[in-house]
Structure 1
Amino acid sequence: MSLPPLPESLIPFLKPYIPNNKDDKYITLTYAQSIDSRISAKPGIQTKLSHLETKTMTHYLRSKHQAILVGINTVLADDPKLNCRYLETDNDGELPLIRPIITDPLNKWDYDNSQLSKICEMKQGLPPYILIDDSIEHTKNSLKLKKQGGDYIKLALLKNRKDNWNLIFEELNKLGLNSIMVEGGATIINDILSSNKKLFNSLIITIAPIFLGKDGVEVSPNKQVELKNFKWWNGKQDSVLCGILK
């Protein structure tokens, strides 16, 4: 399905909150939520929140990064394609490529039967790097993944979770992935927001005009987090908040 045009006002609005160049070291934390700070109606349930114009915005943001990172719970719930469908006007009809990164410490994901595997076969996206714990000896689907150009990356993810994000981002930088768009899910978002270290450069939140209720999956860091240099954009349905850590 083709995306509707990106609202022109979003390009200058987003510019201060995205990398100037894809090769720059830059972490963007971005997600869509309800008014009551829920990103899905229930754990494991795919919940569509974004209006079409902010969905286009998400793909525009992907076009400005080298990699997109999500956690295993998001992958199991949504089976996302994790590619970029924003077509720049000056790139001869070629879609930008973005490398998916999946944090899957216990190696739960059946990559062979995923949507991402299928679109990689059709050359419509890049195969992922799957981050697993270094204790995993036998990985699932490793032959197909490596044949497509992806890989399993072993890291000490289960030993000291507090320092995981420095470890992860340093490893991705070694692999040549500097500009990274972190899209969720809630555990990852809360971990990064709650860290005592500055783990991201900018925060971009899409807020949909809906309450998902007490059973929803909540984004709520375990400490106070303040933003500065923040701006709001209002669309046909959604509002978008951008800012950096105070």
Structure 2
Amino acid sequence: MENIEENELQIIDWLNQHKTNVVSKGKPLVTLSYAQSLDGSLTVRRGMPVGLSGPQSQRLTHCLRANHDGILIGIGTVLSDDPQLTVRLVSGRNPQPIVLDSRLRIPLECQLLRRQQNKAWVACAKTAEENRQSSLLKQGVELIRLPRRGDRGLDLPALLEELWRRGIESVMVEGGAKVLTSFLTERLADVAVITIVPRWLGGVNVISRQRAMDHLPSLSNARYTVFGRDVVVFGVLEWMER
């Protein structure tokens, strides 16, 4: 466990250094963090969650959550996993959950809305059904109303500006595939911490092929650390000039 804790500390120290650099520019640090198989799959098929990470890399995920102000997922992850997005495996503060849900499909009974403290903020389209907006507001849910950007979905730069205004200086983006692809193709992510597990799935890839572009980033000064059976790669996102 001592080596695992040293590896966690190494990644957290590295993350905090980059957070200082990004925050000084007046924007939140955006970290992509997820687990994938050897063939780059997140799950076997959409709507069917698969537990990929081993116990050591799961603990790292909770450490990362505790070191971010916010944690962001898409509505698909809520509907399939009903996650808690807490730091149960380590001591620390739970991040503020943020759900991208343009049409407000989020169930009122999901775990992120049932809890009394740190209830999820829901980012939706300004044109989302008014009755649905009213129902959520009556339950004490905070809505972040955003414009749409054509086939790109919600205006993510506007979302990051609003999160910054609300005091969110770092955001951990966990998925799913559509959300991760959007933050990559729109060049909104700063760093990545990715867990690679030693198995093949042949399922849903991290990058949605319909949205993929020729100018995806690479990891600058990538580092690799072993957590139990898994390998974690982390680095700064670097784009080639278009």
TM bucket normalised to smaller: 0.7 to 0.9
Distance 1:227 1:20, change over 3 A: closer
Query: Are the equivalent residues in 2 in contact too, given 1:128–1:151 (CA < 8 A)?
Result: yes
1:134 aligned partner: 126
Runs of 4+ in structure 1 deviating by more than 3 angstroms, as ranges, are: 18-21
How many angstroms apart in 2 are the aligned matches of 1:164 and 1:113? 27
1:98 aligned partner: 95
1:83 aligned partner: 86
Where structure 2 has 5 or more consecutive residues not aligned to the other structure, the ranges are none
2:228 aligned partner: 236
Distance 1:229 1:171, change over 3 A: same
Query: Are the equivalent residues in 1 in contact too, given 2:221–2:236 (CA < 8 A)?
Result: yes
Give the alignment's TM-score, normalised by structure 2.
0.84
Describe the SS at the equivalent of 1:7: helix
How many angstroms apart in 2 are the aligned matches of 1:47 and 1:40? 6
Distance 1:81 1:162, change over 3 A: closer
- The partner residue of 1:113 within 100, 109, 116 is 109
Describe the SS at the equivalent of 2:6: coil
How many angstroms apart in 2 are the aligned matches of 1:128 and 1:158? 23
How many angstroms apart in 2 are the aligned matches of 1:71 and 1:101? 8
- Percent identical among aligned pairs is 29
How many residue pairs are counted as aligned between the two chains? Answer: 222
How many angstroms apart in 2 are the aligned matches of 1:16 and 1:8? 12
Amino acid aligned to 1:106: R
2:50 aligned partner: 47
- The partner residue of 2:179 within 166, 170, 188 is 188
Query: Are the equivalent residues in 1 in contact too, given 2:71–2:172 (CA < 8 A)?
Result: yes
Give the alignment's TM-score, normalised by structure 1.
0.82
2:206 aligned partner: 219
Query: Are the equivalent residues in 2 in contact too, given 1:33–1:39 (CA < 8 A)?
Result: yes
1:10 aligned partner: 8
Q: Higher helix share goes to which structure?
A: 2
Query: Are the equivalent residues in 2 in contact too, given 1:107–1:132 (CA < 8 A)?
Result: yes
Distance 1:43 1:208, change over 3 A: same
Root-mean-square deviation (CA), in Å?
A: 2.2
Amino acid aligned to 2:112: L
Amino acid aligned to 2:113: S
How many angstroms apart in 1 are the aligned matches of 2:165 and 2:19? 20
Where structure 1 has 5 or more consecutive residues not aligned to the other structure, the ranges are 89-94
> Residue by residue, what CA displacement relative to the aligned partner does 1:171-209 show, whole Å, maximum 9, x if unpaired?
1112221211111110111122222xx412211100111
Describe the SS at the equivalent of 1:200: coil
- The partner residue of 1:152 within 111, 122, 143 is 143
Distance 1:63 1:143, change over 3 A: same
CA positional deviation for 1:235: 2.0
